[in-house]
Amino acid sequence: MTTAQAIAQHVLELPEAEQREVLDFVEFLEAKAKPGVLRERGGAWSAFALAAAMRGMEDEPSPYTTADLKETFR
């Protein structure tokens, strides 16, 4: 069994949320493997960490409404 096959087998046993986390990490590793990509982006790791922390929250309702805004932008 190859490493990729072993990884795939483990990933298939994970719940969907953890599979997305693995995908995010793999994409981060791909970006890191490209020379200079992380240095050019400066905050790539921070962006990755924020995306990982916020994962799954996009479907949650916001506790705020437009009435809560002090200023509106058009």
- Per-residue pLDDT tens digits of the chain, which is 74 residues long: 999 999 999 999 999 999 999 988 888 888 878 866 555 555 677 777 888 888 877 778 888 888 887 776 76
The count of structural domains within the chain is: 1
Expressed as residue numbers, the domain containing 48 is 12-55
* Cα angle 17-20-25, degrees, rounded to a multiple of 5: 130
39 in any annotated domain: yes
Tokens of 53: 């922390």
Is there a domain that residue 50 lies in? yes
| Within-domain flag for 40 | yes
In a domain, 70, yes or no: no
Is there a domain that residue 60 lies in?
no
Q: Is residue 71 included in any domain, yes or no?
A: no
Cβ 57 vs Cβ 63: under 8 Å: no
DSSP SS3 for 3: helix
